[in-house]
Protein backbone atom coordinates (compact mmCIF):
# COMPACT_ATOMS: atom_id res chain seq x y z
CA UNK A 1 0.00 0.00 0.00
CA UNK A 2 1.28 3.45 -0.88
CA UNK A 3 0.96 5.76 2.05
CA UNK A 4 -2.03 8.01 1.51
CA UNK A 5 -2.08 11.04 3.80
CA UNK A 6 -5.84 11.27 3.33
CA UNK A 7 -6.37 7.84 4.83
CA UNK A 8 -6.18 6.92 8.48
CA UNK A 9 -4.46 3.66 9.35
CA UNK A 10 -5.76 1.14 11.85
CA UNK A 11 -3.32 -1.63 12.75
CA UNK A 12 -4.70 -4.70 14.48
CA UNK A 13 -2.04 -6.47 16.53
CA UNK A 14 -3.53 -9.86 17.32
CA UNK A 15 -0.54 -10.84 19.47
CA UNK A 16 -0.77 -14.59 20.27
CA UNK A 17 -4.46 -14.93 19.40
CA UNK A 18 -6.56 -16.86 18.47
CA UNK A 19 -5.47 -20.44 19.09
CA UNK A 20 -7.07 -22.07 16.01
CA UNK A 21 -6.79 -21.20 12.32
CA UNK A 22 -10.54 -21.65 11.87
CA UNK A 23 -11.25 -18.90 14.38
CA UNK A 24 -8.53 -16.71 12.87
CA UNK A 25 -10.09 -17.00 9.42
CA UNK A 26 -13.50 -16.16 10.86
CA UNK A 27 -12.18 -12.97 12.45
CA UNK A 28 -10.25 -12.03 9.32
CA UNK A 29 -13.27 -12.51 7.06
CA UNK A 30 -15.46 -10.33 9.27
CA UNK A 31 -12.88 -7.55 9.37
CA UNK A 32 -12.34 -7.78 5.62
CA UNK A 33 -16.06 -7.32 4.95
CA UNK A 34 -16.09 -4.15 7.02
CA UNK A 35 -12.80 -2.88 5.58
CA UNK A 36 -14.18 -3.15 2.04
CA UNK A 37 -16.82 -0.55 2.94
CA UNK A 38 -14.45 2.02 4.47
CA UNK A 39 -13.78 5.16 2.46
CA UNK A 40 -11.05 6.95 4.42
CA UNK A 41 -9.44 4.24 6.52
CA UNK A 42 -6.91 1.54 5.68
CA UNK A 43 -6.68 -1.60 7.80
CA UNK A 44 -3.50 -3.55 8.54
CA UNK A 45 -3.88 -6.90 10.28
CA UNK A 46 -0.87 -8.41 12.07
CA UNK A 47 -1.82 -11.97 13.07
CA UNK A 48 0.46 -14.62 14.60
CA UNK A 49 3.09 -15.69 12.09
CA UNK A 50 1.42 -19.08 11.66
CA UNK A 51 -1.54 -17.38 9.95
CA UNK A 52 0.27 -14.72 7.94
CA UNK A 53 0.83 -16.73 4.75
CA UNK A 54 -2.73 -18.06 4.79
CA UNK A 55 -4.15 -14.54 5.01
CA UNK A 56 -1.75 -13.13 2.44
CA UNK A 57 -2.50 -15.87 -0.09
CA UNK A 58 -6.28 -15.74 0.36
CA UNK A 59 -6.87 -12.01 0.34
CA UNK A 60 -6.70 -11.50 -3.47
CA UNK A 61 -7.64 -7.85 -4.08
CA UNK A 62 -8.30 -7.19 -0.41
CA UNK A 63 -8.79 -3.84 1.31
CA UNK A 64 -6.60 -5.19 4.11
CA UNK A 65 -2.80 -5.15 4.24
CA UNK A 66 -1.07 -8.04 5.98
CA UNK A 67 1.57 -7.32 8.58
CA UNK A 68 3.87 -9.33 10.81
CA UNK A 69 4.41 -8.85 14.52
CA UNK A 70 8.16 -9.28 14.43
CA UNK A 71 11.17 -9.82 12.16
CA UNK A 72 14.89 -10.58 12.38
CA UNK A 73 17.53 -8.25 10.98
CA UNK A 74 19.68 -10.83 9.18
CA UNK A 75 18.82 -12.01 5.67
CA UNK A 76 19.42 -15.74 6.31
CA UNK A 77 21.65 -18.08 8.24
CA UNK A 78 21.91 -20.01 11.50
CA UNK A 79 19.18 -18.21 13.42
CA UNK A 80 16.80 -20.84 14.77
CA UNK A 81 13.23 -19.62 15.14
CA UNK A 82 13.76 -16.32 13.31
CA UNK A 83 12.32 -15.04 10.03
CA UNK A 84 13.80 -12.42 7.71
CA UNK A 85 12.23 -9.44 6.01
CA UNK A 86 12.79 -11.05 2.59
CA UNK A 87 10.86 -14.13 3.69
CA UNK A 88 8.00 -11.90 4.82
CA UNK A 89 8.12 -9.96 1.57
CA UNK A 90 7.92 -13.18 -0.42
CA UNK A 91 4.65 -14.20 1.24
CA UNK A 92 2.96 -10.84 0.75
CA UNK A 93 3.71 -8.96 3.97
CA UNK A 94 4.01 -5.18 3.59
CA UNK A 95 4.01 -4.00 7.22
CA UNK A 96 5.99 -5.19 10.26
CA UNK A 97 5.62 -4.14 13.88
CA UNK A 98 9.08 -3.35 15.21
CA UNK A 99 10.09 -2.45 18.75
CA UNK A 100 6.82 -3.29 20.47
CA UNK A 101 7.06 -2.79 24.24
CA UNK A 102 6.51 -6.51 24.81
CA UNK A 103 9.53 -7.27 22.60
CA UNK A 104 11.57 -4.60 24.37
CA UNK A 105 10.60 -6.22 27.68
CA UNK A 106 12.04 -9.49 26.35
CA UNK A 107 15.39 -7.79 25.92
CA UNK A 108 15.34 -6.08 22.52
CA UNK A 109 17.53 -3.00 22.61
CA UNK A 110 17.29 0.16 20.53
CA UNK A 111 20.34 -1.06 18.59
CA UNK A 112 18.63 -4.32 17.66
CA UNK A 113 15.46 -2.45 16.76
CA UNK A 114 17.38 -0.03 14.52
CA UNK A 115 18.83 -3.00 12.62
CA UNK A 116 15.34 -4.45 12.18
CA UNK A 117 13.95 -1.14 10.95
CA UNK A 118 16.71 -0.89 8.36
CA UNK A 119 16.31 -4.50 7.20
CA UNK A 120 12.57 -3.97 6.74
CA UNK A 121 13.01 -0.69 4.88
CA UNK A 122 15.55 -2.18 2.49
CA UNK A 123 12.98 -4.82 1.56
CA UNK A 124 10.35 -2.19 0.76
CA UNK A 125 8.21 -3.02 3.78
CA UNK A 126 6.74 -0.40 6.13
CA UNK A 127 8.07 -0.74 9.68
CA UNK A 128 5.54 0.23 12.33
CA UNK A 129 8.03 1.49 14.89
CA UNK A 130 6.68 1.40 18.45
CA UNK A 131 7.99 3.84 21.02
CA UNK A 132 6.70 4.85 24.43
CA UNK A 133 7.73 5.56 27.98
CA UNK A 134 7.16 3.08 30.83
CA UNK A 135 6.03 5.79 33.22
CA UNK A 136 5.46 9.53 33.39
CA UNK A 137 7.07 11.86 35.90
CA UNK A 138 6.31 15.44 36.91
CA UNK A 139 9.77 16.59 35.83
CA UNK A 140 9.33 15.55 32.19
CA UNK A 141 12.19 13.06 32.19
CA UNK A 142 9.96 10.68 30.22
CA UNK A 143 10.42 13.00 27.24
CA UNK A 144 14.16 12.32 27.29
CA UNK A 145 13.43 8.59 27.41
CA UNK A 146 11.10 8.85 24.42
CA UNK A 147 13.51 11.05 22.48
CA UNK A 148 16.33 8.58 23.06
CA UNK A 149 14.15 5.67 21.93
CA UNK A 150 13.23 7.42 18.70
CA UNK A 151 16.74 8.60 17.86
CA UNK A 152 18.40 5.28 18.64
CA UNK A 153 15.73 3.17 16.93
CA UNK A 154 16.09 5.27 13.75
CA UNK A 155 19.88 5.52 13.96
CA UNK A 156 20.42 3.44 10.81
CA UNK A 157 17.55 4.96 8.85
CA UNK A 158 18.35 7.32 5.98
CA UNK A 159 16.52 10.49 5.01
CA UNK A 160 15.62 8.77 1.75
CA UNK A 161 13.71 6.00 3.54
CA UNK A 162 12.27 7.74 6.61
CA UNK A 163 9.08 8.43 4.69
CA UNK A 164 8.28 4.72 4.73
CA UNK A 165 8.37 4.52 8.53
CA UNK A 166 5.12 4.58 10.49
CA UNK A 167 5.55 5.70 14.09
CA UNK A 168 3.35 4.19 16.79
CA UNK A 169 3.36 6.06 20.09
CA UNK A 170 2.29 3.52 22.69
CA UNK A 171 3.01 4.55 26.31
CA UNK A 172 3.63 1.32 28.21
CA UNK A 173 1.65 2.44 31.25
CA UNK A 174 -1.46 2.96 29.09
CA UNK A 175 -1.45 -0.53 27.55
CA UNK A 176 -4.31 -2.54 29.00
CA UNK A 177 -5.54 0.42 31.03
CA UNK A 178 -9.25 1.15 31.47
CA UNK A 179 -8.94 4.46 29.65
CA UNK A 180 -6.49 5.82 27.07
CA UNK A 181 -4.40 8.93 27.47
CA UNK A 182 -6.30 12.21 27.26
CA UNK A 183 -6.61 13.20 23.56
CA UNK A 184 -5.09 16.63 24.24
CA UNK A 185 -1.97 14.98 25.68
CA UNK A 186 -1.90 12.51 22.80
CA UNK A 187 -1.74 15.48 20.44
CA UNK A 188 1.15 16.95 22.41
CA UNK A 189 3.02 13.65 22.25
CA UNK A 190 2.41 13.29 18.50
CA UNK A 191 3.88 16.78 18.05
CA UNK A 192 6.86 15.77 20.19
CA UNK A 193 7.47 12.62 18.12
CA UNK A 194 7.45 14.69 14.93
CA UNK A 195 9.77 17.28 16.54
CA UNK A 196 12.37 14.59 17.20
CA UNK A 197 12.04 13.29 13.65
CA UNK A 198 12.29 16.87 12.34
CA UNK A 199 15.57 17.34 14.19
CA UNK A 200 16.89 14.15 12.61
CA UNK A 201 15.47 14.23 9.09
CA UNK A 202 14.05 17.70 8.48
CA UNK A 203 10.68 19.39 8.92
CA UNK A 204 9.19 18.22 5.62
CA UNK A 205 9.90 14.58 6.35
CA UNK A 206 8.55 14.93 9.87
CA UNK A 207 5.25 16.37 8.66
CA UNK A 208 4.84 13.47 6.21
CA UNK A 209 5.52 10.85 8.87
CA UNK A 210 2.43 9.00 10.02
CA UNK A 211 2.00 8.85 13.79
CA UNK A 212 -0.36 6.31 15.35
CA UNK A 213 -1.49 5.97 18.95
CA UNK A 214 -1.85 2.75 20.90
CA UNK A 215 -3.05 2.03 24.41
CA UNK A 216 -6.54 1.11 25.66
CA UNK A 217 -8.23 2.01 22.37
CA UNK A 218 -11.76 0.84 21.63
CA UNK A 219 -14.83 1.83 19.62
CA UNK A 220 -15.97 4.23 22.34
CA UNK A 221 -12.85 6.40 22.35
CA UNK A 222 -11.37 5.86 18.87
CA UNK A 223 -12.97 8.84 17.14
CA UNK A 224 -11.94 11.26 19.91
CA UNK A 225 -8.37 10.00 19.81
CA UNK A 226 -8.22 10.55 16.05
CA UNK A 227 -10.16 13.81 15.96
CA UNK A 228 -8.87 15.52 19.11
CA UNK A 229 -5.55 13.72 19.41
CA UNK A 230 -4.66 14.64 15.82
CA UNK A 231 -3.01 11.29 15.09
CA UNK A 232 -3.04 9.43 11.78
CA UNK A 233 -4.44 6.20 13.12
CA UNK A 234 -4.38 3.61 15.87
CA UNK A 235 -2.41 0.55 16.90
CA UNK A 236 -5.06 -1.71 18.43
CA UNK A 237 -4.22 -4.71 20.58
CA UNK A 238 -6.81 -6.79 22.44
CA UNK A 239 -9.77 -5.06 20.80
CA UNK A 240 -8.60 -6.14 17.33
CA UNK A 241 -9.63 -9.77 17.96
CA UNK A 242 -12.98 -8.75 19.41
CA UNK A 243 -14.93 -8.69 16.15
CA UNK A 244 -17.98 -6.64 17.22
CA UNK A 245 -15.84 -4.05 18.99
CA UNK A 246 -13.20 -3.82 16.26
CA UNK A 247 -15.80 -3.48 13.51
CA UNK A 248 -17.44 -0.62 15.40
CA UNK A 249 -14.03 0.96 15.95
CA UNK A 250 -13.32 0.89 12.22
CA UNK A 251 -16.67 2.48 11.44
CA UNK A 252 -16.15 5.17 14.08
CA UNK A 253 -12.71 6.09 12.75
CA UNK A 254 -13.90 6.11 9.16
CA UNK A 255 -16.62 8.58 10.11
CA UNK A 256 -14.10 11.10 11.47
Strand spans (E) along the chain:
8-13, 41-46, 64-68, 95-98, 126-131, 166-169, 210-214, 233-236
- Comparing CA positions, the residue from 177, 171, 169 lying closest to residue 216 is 177
Is residue 185 within 8 A of residue 177, CB to CB? The reply is: no
CA distances from 22 to 36, 46, 50, 92 (A): 21, 16, 12, 21
The rounded distance, in Å, linking the Cα atoms of 115 and 109 is: 10
For 24-119, strand residue ranges (E) read 41-46, 64-68, 95-98
- Bond preceding residue 190 cis, omega within 30 of 0: no
Residues serving a catalytic function are 100, 170
Amino acid sequence: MKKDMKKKIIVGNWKMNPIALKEAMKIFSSVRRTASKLSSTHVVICPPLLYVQKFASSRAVSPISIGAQNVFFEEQGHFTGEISSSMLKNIGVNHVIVGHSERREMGETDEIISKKVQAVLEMGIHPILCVGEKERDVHGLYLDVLKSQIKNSLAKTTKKLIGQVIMAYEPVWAIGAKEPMDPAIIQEMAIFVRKVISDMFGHENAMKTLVLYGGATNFRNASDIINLGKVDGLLVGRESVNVPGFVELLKAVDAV
